[in-house]
Each structure stands twice: as C-alpha cells, then as structure tokens.
Chains A and B, each alone.
Chain A
Amino acid sequence: MQMTGKAHKFDMDDINTDYIISGKYKFKTLDMKELAKHVMEDLDPHFYSKITAGDFIVGGNNFGCGSSREQAPLAIKYADISLVLAKSFARIFYRNAINTGLPLVECDTDQIDAGDKLEVDLSAGVVKNLTKGIEIKTKPLPDVMIKILNDGGLAAHFRKHGGFNL
C-alpha cells in the first residue's frame, strides 16, 4: 500500500480525541461528513478548508489519547485525510483507526515540517520525505492490523471471512 500526500503538522504531544472532534459535535449525529467539517477545530479553526484529498496529518507523542469514540478517526477519515503519522499513538485510537480503515504510521515526526511532501509504503514500513530528500524509519504495524487494514477495516474483514480470521 503506497501513498503520497502533503503534511499538515500539529506540533504538539497528547492531541486528544476532544481536539480531534470536539465533544460539542460528536454525540449529535451519525453523519460523519458533517462531523468531518469540525475536525481539529479547537487547534486550527480553518483546518477543514485547508485539506486536499489524500493529505496526511502529522502529530507528536500519544496522538489520539482520551475517549474511545470512533468519531475521532472517522472525522479524520471523512475529512479526506488518508493517513496519520505520529511519534506514538494512544492505544484505543490506534485500534479504532485500523478498525475503521484509517492507516497510521509511527515514526520520528521531528523530521517532517508543515507542507512537506511524503511518500509512505505501509507494507514495507518506509516513509520518504520527498521535500527534504530523507528516509524516516518507522515502527511496523502488527500483522493482525495489516490484515484488517488490507481488508478495508474490521467490518469488511467480518463480511469477507464471516468473523475473525486473524
């Protein structure tokens, strides 16, 4: 799975699920396109309008800490962000993202600046910063997660295999 995109950098640790999608919105609707318009709003009020389909979000340590609500990875996904890179992810967010088909990469994001163009090969676990001409080491995803991601998320995995097949 190879992807290319532009980096939107949030240069801080512990970006929590309330920052990703504020509690004000996430209880009201199951319409994820509507939620997506408010993604990252408390950190950057105009973020949604800056996204071009396929772009990446880049964060620091412990990205996605806080709530178990899948509205957080879904808001990112429905905002047409194709991938999140961070130094580390909070555990529940990490699972939720994979289950809903949003790929994640753990790597040293200090080597990425806002606007950098990145090329990511998920299965090989390679991130190339095309703007800076460097290659960044990544922590590979566990095999079960790659299986789920390759099936298109856990729901698609269930439909395909009639249950867990990990």
Chain B
Amino acid sequence: MGQTIIEKILSSHSGQVAHAGDIVVAQLDFIMGQDGTSPLAIRAFNDMGGRDVFDTDKVALVIDHSSPSPNEGVSALHQLMRLFCKEKNIKIYDIGEGVCHQLIPESGKVGPGKLVIGADSHTCTYGALNAFATGVGSTDLAGGMIAGKLWFKVPETIKFVCHGELPPGVYAKDLILYLIGDVTADGATYMAAEFTGEAVSALSVEGRMTMANMAVEMGAKAGLMEADEKTLLWLSRYTEERFNPVAADEDAFYAEVKEYDVSNLEPQIAMPHRVDNVTDIGNLVGTPIHQAVIGTCTNGRLEDLRIAASILKGKKINPDVRLVVAPASRRVLLDAMEEGIIQTLVESGAAVVTPGCGPCVGTHNGVPSNDENVISTANRNFKGRMGNSNARIYLASPATVAASALTGEITDPREMIKQVK
C-alpha cells in the first residue's frame, strides 16, 4: 500500500516502513523549546540524568512568550534558560528576536522531509514547508534533547482538498477557520491533516504557514503540504541546503478525503470561546470591538502586516479601539520598516510591541478588561486566553482585524479593499 507524507517521513527517520497505527522510534532533525515550556524541560532533563544534548546544532531555545520579562518570576525562568544554553552550548533566541515558529523556519533548519519536535502546540506550522513537525510537552522535549529520538504513533491522515480560487479579501486564515469550523475542534484528533488543491497551491508560503499553524485547532498532530517551487524559493532565502520534497503516493490510504470549493468563501470569524465556533463575517458585522491584535505565530508575518497596512494607510483607528501589532520576528520588523509598513501602522494609531508572542497568551502586553471584545489574528480564543476570562476574543484575518480597528466594530474588509484599489 502507498504512503501518506507523514508515513514517508516517519519511515525515513525510523528505518522501517511505517503505516498508520504503527509505533516507531524516529530520529529527530531539530528540537525547539520556548519560555513557557523550556524551564520544565530543563528540570526534566536534569531529572533524567541528562548531561549534554545529543547534537548542539539541532537544539534551540526561544524566549518569546513573555518577552521581555514582565516580572521577577519570569525573569528567573529566562535566566535558567540562558544558563542552560550557555552550559550546553546551544543556540538561544533571546528577547526581541521573535516568535519561535517564525525564527525556526527563518533559521533554515527546517524543510521538506525533516522531522521536528517543538515544545509548543503550534510547532505544526512547519508542515507548510513539507516537514513533519509536531508539538510535544516538556518531558518529551527533554527526552529528545538527550536521545535525539522520540517514539511516535504513526497517525492516520485526513486529506483536505480545496478547489477553486479564494475571492479577493479572503485569505488563508479564513480558509483554515472555515475548515476547522467544518470538522470541529476534535475532528482530526490523533491524526495528520494534508492540505492540497489549487486554492492551497495558490497561497504564498506565509499563507500556508497560517493554515498548518492551526491544524492543532482541529486536534491534528501535524498539518502538512507538498513542497513546490514556491517552497524551495522561500527556503533558498534562508539556507543553501538542498531538500528532498516528500509527496504522498497515489494509492496512499486516507482516513477521509474532504473536498471543498472555496470560490465563494466569505471572510470567516471564530466567535468566543471556541476556535471551531466559526461563522461568516456577515453574521457579525457591527459587533463592537475594544481591542484589535495583529501578529502571533499565525499571522504576524510580512505579508500579514502588509495587508493590514494597505487598509490602514492614511487613516486613523477608531478612538475607542486599541490596536496592538506584534511582528513575528526581528527580520519581519526590519523588512516592514524598510517597506514603510511600520510607519503606516504607527501613524494609524497602532501600538507596535516587541517581536514575539505579545498579547496572544495573556502573560503581558495588552490584557483586555472585563466585558471587552477583542478581535485578533491569533489561533486561540479560549476563555481567559489573553489573561482575562471575562473578555471575549474573536479570531479573524489581518484584513478583517485592520478593517475592524478602523470602525470600532466587526467590519467586512472587502469593502475597504475596494476603496484601496
């Protein structure tokens, strides 16, 4: 029987022909931890009797979730990470460098066919680069750092075939929200999601990262795509390594194949407090907004900031709204400065904060007040997610968030895009 992308990658890394349901021990190509998970991993590393990491070039820690530190407790945890990295001679990305899921792809260490674990649930982002990348906890991270391998249950795969062309003003974020709404928050639990079809091929690599990033919101272990010319061109900016793209076999077995025609898709919004509580924007237009957030590992890339700036250019945000912008990395920030995007955002009234996870996780930078509505480009709207369980979070594309920041209420960006043109 043929194999899916994930079955092929797990085969090449375990030395056995892997099919769904098998349990394999696979070699790891790269390992990442962030400041919410690494301190516990360091403790587990010591508890396991770890001395050195298996390969100093294949492990990195990133300080991005509470960056810079907002209090002494977090500072102590950051200090623990810095000391560990120095002692083990591994790379640390310190404050200001950005979000792990932007930095690791920018490092050139991830590409087609690679197997990566990260102690962050959105590590599945790198599936956009045709890698098998998955989120693990701190203890798995510690075991991986010591042994350079980890056990995996080979998942079944659901194939999402997206036909047609996304209409203007409708983006990768809208597409993935729509798919999550369709299959629900546990629709792909214990599985991998392969995204394919001409609508996916038409997306930029950034857009594909937005989709793969949110695979975990349908419960999936990984969200994968095939590599194409765009993927290889994107990678060539960051590394000279040559990769071997992995495609699924014609006769691969899928648990389910779901087909969609996305030609008439409207902008989508996930309503509080569930990511799968998704609706067409038309049902929510006019809902008041108090805070708007552009950034995060889902939508903090240059393309996202560019879209937002095109809507905000020459205009002022509504005086009753705070707009917080967190670029995904220092490189994104520098590129956005060079293009004049940051100038546009700041002139419109945005508060630009340190590249990093910023307000997404509620540990610093922009905690909403009671009874406030937030519209955000992030990937989770769980109750309390942004630090206040009495606030309501709506998830949307950067275009929808920018348009809503201008009017102070949920606004369909397609109208504004027409005006821009």
Contacts and interface: CB of A to CB of B under 8 A. Distances in A.
Contacts of B216: 92
B385 A23 contact: yes
Given A13-B186, A23-B362, A61-B186, A70 B385 contact: no
Interface residues of B, number: 56
B361 interface: yes
Contacts of B274: 14
Nearest to B65: A27
Contacts of A143: 23
B384 A29 contact: no
Interface string B153-188: 100000000000000000000000000000001100
Interface in A93-151: 95-96, 99-100, 142-144
Interface in B72-92: 73-74, 77
A96 B139 contact: yes
Interface string A6-19: 00000001101011
Given A27-B363, A90-B219, A68 B186 contact: no
A68 B47 contact: no
B121 A68 contact: yes
Interface string B11-38: 0000000000001010000000001110
A158 B143 contact: yes
Most buried by A among B119, B150, B219, B383: B219
B387 A23 contact: yes
Contact of B139 (A28, A99, A163): A99
Interface residues of A, number: 45
A26 B65 CA distance: 12
B189 interface: yes
A62 interface: yes
B355 to A, nearest CB: 18
B16 to A, nearest CB: 14
B395 interface: no
Given A14-B185, A100-B139, A30 B387 contact: no
Contact of A92 (B121, B147, B362): B121
B140 A28 contact: no
Contacts of B293: none
A23 B135 contact: no
Interface in B58-80: 65-66, 71, 73-74, 77
A96 B137 contact: yes
Nearest to A61: B186
Contact of B384 (A22, A65, A155): A22
Contacts of B147: 163-164
Most buried by B among A22, A68, A73: A68
A82 interface: no
B146 interface: yes
Contacts of B48: 154-155, 158-159
Contact of B49 (A22, A26, A159): A159
Given A29-B73, A68-B121, A155-B139, A91 B385 contact: no
Contact of A22 (B66, B142, B221, B389): B389
Interface string B188-228: 01100000000000000000000000001001010000000
Contacts of A69: 36-37, 40, 137-138
Contact of A65 (B139, B186, B386): B186
Contacts of A68: 37, 119-121, 123, 135-137
A50 interface: no
A6 to B, nearest CB: 27
Contacts of B248: none
B27 to A, nearest CB: 12
Contact of A95 (B43, B136, B186, B383): B136
B383 A99 contact: no
Contacts of B232: none
23 contacts: A13-B186, A18-B380, A18-B385, A23-B385, A24-B384, A24-B387, A26-B36, A27-B65, A27-B363, A61-B186, A66-B382, A68-B123, A69-B37, A92-B135, A95-B136, A99-B143, A154-B44, A158-B48, A158-B143, A158-B146, A159-B47, A164-B25, A164-B151
Interface of B: 23, 25, 35-37, 39-40, 43-44, 47-50, 65-66, 71, 73-74, 77, 119-121, 123, 135-140, 142-143, 146-147, 149-151, 153, 185-186, 189-190, 216, 219, 221, 274, 361-363, 380, 382-387, 389
Given A30-B40, A70-B139, A163-B146, 10 more contacts: A14-B186, A18-B383, A22-B389, A61-B186, A62-B219, A66-B382, A70-B40, A91-B221, A154-B139, A154-B143
